[in-house]
Amino acid sequence: MVGVSDNVIVTQLRDELGIPSGEDDRIRNEIQRAKSYVNAAVGDANINNDVWVDCVVACAADLFNSRNARFGVLNAGTDGLDAVRISNDPLYSVWPKLRAAGVLTGRQVIA
């Protein structure tokens, strides 16, 4: 979105995931990828900047954590007995946010 600084998104992503300083290149790469996914999902719809930032942060958080969830199984550092399956869809947490904002997209669209 126009007028939204990447620094705002970086700060919110760090807060969301508890990422200390460092990993700046990886964070910025995930944010750029998340922007591409979210912009494609939003399309021509007009949404509030705060909603867009929230969607980008949610998507970037999922992308950032995907390193620890290869093949949809989260490596949570446990003894291996409790497999946690997560979605491979990078927009999984974004779809309900967009629907709540009135953007008819994702799996709920019927043409």
Residue by residue, pLDDT tens for the chain (111 residues) are 667 888 999 999 999 988 888 888 999 999 999 999 999 999 989 999 999 999 999 999 988 887 765 656 555 555 655 555 667 788 989 999 999 999 887 555 454
- The pLDDT assigned to 88 comes to 75
The alpha carbon of residue 109 and the mean position of all alpha carbons in its chain are separated, in whole angstroms, by 20
- At residue 48, the pLDDT reads 92
**Two tokens, residue 19:** 């990422």
